[in-house]
Amino acid sequence: IVGDAGGLREIVENGVTGYRVEPDNPGAFAKTLTYLIGDGRRRDQLAEHARELVRRNYSWKDIARSTLSMYREVLEAEAKHSWLSAVDLDKEPASAHPSAVLYPVAADGHSIENGGT
């Protein structure tokens, strides 16, 4: 028994894999629960259909594939609308010029390598 809203609404098919009731309606929840407590055969049918739905549609492999696909869509959309669209992420970055060498500097601004001069 789930509230007829949000993500569980997409998973629970009313009367087939469970029951959806109006959110914020404790009376509807209590009535459905009372019905299911009294009908073990119906509970077993719902449970079997729900197990089959999960086996068929919710393997870890499918969930991973779906999540990866969603991440790709987000990254592609972001790349179209940001500075990343101007960057070729597959291109090897250029090497720094040989004269572009960094030397350690002391807090007072003097070179550490040359004895502080």
Residues of the chain with pLDDT under 50: none
- Residue 87 pLDDT: 67
Please report the DSSP string for the chain in residue order: -EESSHHHHHH--BTTTB-EE-TT-HHHHHHHHHHHHH-HHHHHHHHHHHHHHHHHH--HHHHHHHHHHHHHHHHHHHHHTSGGGGS-TTSPPPPPPTT-----B-TTS-BTTTTT-
- Residue 26 pLDDT: 96
- Residue 85 pLDDT: 63
- Residue 103 pLDDT: 74
- Residue 51 pLDDT: 95
- Residue 83 pLDDT: 66
Per-residue tokens: 93: 């970055």
- Residue 48 pLDDT: 98
pLDDT 10s digits, 23-34: 999 999 999 999
- Residue 10 pLDDT: 86
- Residue 77 pLDDT: 84
